[in-house]
Each structure stands twice: as C-alpha cells, then as structure tokens.
Amino acid sequence: MAKKIYLIGLGLIGGSIALSIKHNDPSIHIIGFDINNDQAALAKKLGAIDEVSYEIFPSDISSVDIIFISTPVEQTINIIKDLKDVELKKNVIITDVGSTKVKIVESANKYLNGRIKFVGGHPMAGSHKSGILAAKPHLFENAFYILTPSKYVTLEDLEQLKNILEGTKANFIEMSPQEHDRVTGVISHFPHIVAASLVYQAKNHEEQFPLVKRLAAGGFRDITRIASSNPYMWRDILLHNKGPLLHLFDDWISEMERVKGFVENEEAENLYDYFEHAKHYRDGLPEKQKGAIPSFYDLYVDVPDYPGIISEVTGFLAQEKISLTNIRIIETREEIYGVLRLSFQTEHDRELAINCISKYSTYETFII
C-alpha cells in the first residue's frame, strides 16, 4: 500500500519537500495544510500535494504514515504540544524542518513521550524567495539534511524517513540537537547578527557622512545580503538558540579586542598573519557544497554601454530557456564597459549561462 504523508506548512521548504517526494514516487499520497488557503490550493494546482486539508488536524490524520511540520520554530513546538491529544497511526513518524533543534526535540520527548517517533530535521538549503511558487523539487540537491532523532527513534525509523526523502538528493547527517544548535550558531545564526550589525554601523554613520548609503554598494551590499532575511524568523531563531549564541557573542568580542589590539599597537606582522590565515581557511571551504546559508549563484558580465544591451543579454538566456532570479546593473558609464550581475537559482543554471553568453557574444563573464 502506498504511503500517506501529511504536510503542515506549504511554503518554500514544505513545498519543495512535497515536490521532491512526488517526483521521486508519484504513488505517495500527500495531504497538505497551510494557514493560507490560497497557498494550499496553489500547492495542489502545482502538483506538490494531492489533497488539501482545511483544518490543521484532519479527521483522517490517523491513517497518515509520516507527518512533516514545516512552520516557524515556535509554531512547531505548539503543534507538537497539540499532537499529544490527537489520535495517530501506530508507529507514525513526525519530523520538522526548523533551524534550531534543542527546544523542538525536548518538546517532542516531553509531550509525545515515546508514543510517537519524532525525528528533528533541518534541510540546510533555501532561497531568497518564499512561498509555494518558489518551491523546487531539486532545492535540497547536494545540500546537507541534518537529522536529530528523539530518544525513542530506532535505526529502522530513520531509514524509513530517509527513504521517503530520497528524492531530495540531499546528504543526510545525524547529530544530537545540542551539536546541531552549536554548529548552526557558528555558521548561520551568528553571521546573520554580524551582517545586521554591519548595516546598523553604516546607518549610524550616515548622518555624519551622507555619502555612506550611496557608497555602500558593491562588496558591502553583497556581504550584508543576509541582513535582508525575514526578521520574524530570525527573532525566533536567536531566542531559541540563546545559549550557544551568548557564548559566541563572548568569543566574537574577544576576537575583535584581539584585532583592535593589533591595530592599536601597529603590530603589522600580526595583522598580516590574521588576514593571511583567514584567507587560507576561507579559500579551503568547499565550493560546490550547499551550506547553512543559501548560496548566491551570481555571474558578472562586462557589456558595452548602448541601448538595448540588457534585453540583448537576457534574450540570449531566453533562447536557451535559462531562468534568471535577478539582474542588476553594477556599473555603466558612457563610452566604457559596464557590468551586469545576473543571479541564478542553481550553479548548474549559472554554468549554462556562461556557455550561452560565450556562444552568442564576445562579452567576458566572470565569477567573484
């Protein structure tokens, strides 16, 4: 008998999970619920789900094999609390997609009490767009998908969940909820704080130096992109990962004091070593692996300044059916070459674009 899945939350992540499951095994029946009925109806129209539920716990939920909770962390905890009073199928597996894990898994251990198998989940991929229309069946391909099982979960339960998620083509990693929250604090949560702080620093100096905002383009805009993330989501993530982040604040302040000392005492050799070691570590990071922060697949194109140049370049891409997610003019001045920044959904699309532009023109393309 085909598996039956119930998916709560049909945004980017929930929709992409549904699409990847359906593409891999169309026989799996997926019921979907979203607080926005239009979003749920659209998910069915797009083929992400087979059936819409208009209540969070439908009458036939007891026939469901696996439940995915794809909601913000606080809502996920509330749903787990409510599930303790819902009649569910024996051996049902419940999983989530939250960016923090300790409080969620603790809630599952407390409220589900071994009656229900709960596996914390965190697919470490995303997009700068949201909603079911941004969902893609390949969103998690080559991404890390972290699983943090509660204490009642068996190896067989984990294998069953991985088999359902096979279509994501993600790389599964198992770790404790505590390890997950410490690691993501370092590589995702704290960098968002730093990016927002850099924006605040620029904003605070704008009154004294009015040109700050105009000049804060190019590299500054790029390294602070993640400061444009959803403020509600990041408020909750920081509050739920309070412990690890407080330690990271102390580490960061100590690190800044160390660099400040190098500058204050004009320690040229230490400053050189500081940047040289950072460069060496950064250059050794994996290039093609998806990480906790969504990658930016940008391509820069040197183009001459004349009317219609943007439509010419996008026309090349249209001929090859290559989709753009964004386009921006970085620099264009009369009688010199300007730069277009083209953004793509995947690295594969960017590679196709490089070949396409070289096929139809002599414009130089480059990646930063």
The answer to whether the CB of 63 falls within 8 A of the CB of 1 is: no
Cα–Cα distances in angstroms (integers) from residue 262 to residues 25, 266, 274, in the given order? 58, 6, 9
Q: Using one digit for the tens of pLDDT, what is the confidence trace for 4-63?
A: 999 999 999 999 999 999 999 999 999 999 999 999 999 999 999 999 999 999 988 999
Enumerate the CATH 3.40.50.720 domain ranges in the chain, comma separated: 4-175
Which residue ranges does the chain devote to CATH 1.10.3660.10? 180-283
The correct CATH number of 297-366 out of 3.60.130.10, 3.40.50.1360, 3.30.2130.10, 3.60.15.10 is 3.30.2130.10
- What distance in Å separates the CA atoms of residue 71 and residue 80, rounded to the nearest whole number? 11
Does residue 109 carry a pLDDT above 60? yes
Antiparallel, parallel or unpaired: β 144-149 and 51-52: unpaired
Q: Where in the chain is the domain with CATH 3.30.2130.10?
A: 297-366
Q: Structure pTM?
A: 0.81
Under the banding of pLDDT at 50, 70 and 90, the label for residue 335 is very low
> Which tops the pLDDT comparison, 276 or 338?
276
Query: Of 18-32, 98-112, 215-229, 320-334, which range is least confident?
Result: 320-334
The dihedrals phi and psi of 344, each to the nearest 5 degrees, come to -125, 160
What pLDDT is recorded for position 326? Answer: 81
Tens-digit pLDDT profile for residues 155-191: 999 999 999 999 999 999 999 999 999 999 999 999 9
Q: Which of 150, 149, 147, 75 is nearest to 111 (CA)?
A: 150
Hey, what are 330's tokens? Answer: 């970085």
pLDDT-derived band at 332 (thresholds 50, 70, 90) equals very low
Domain 180-283 CATH class label: mainly alpha
Tokens of 247: 């330690």
User: Is it true that domain 4-175 has CATH number 3.40.50.720?
Assistant: yes
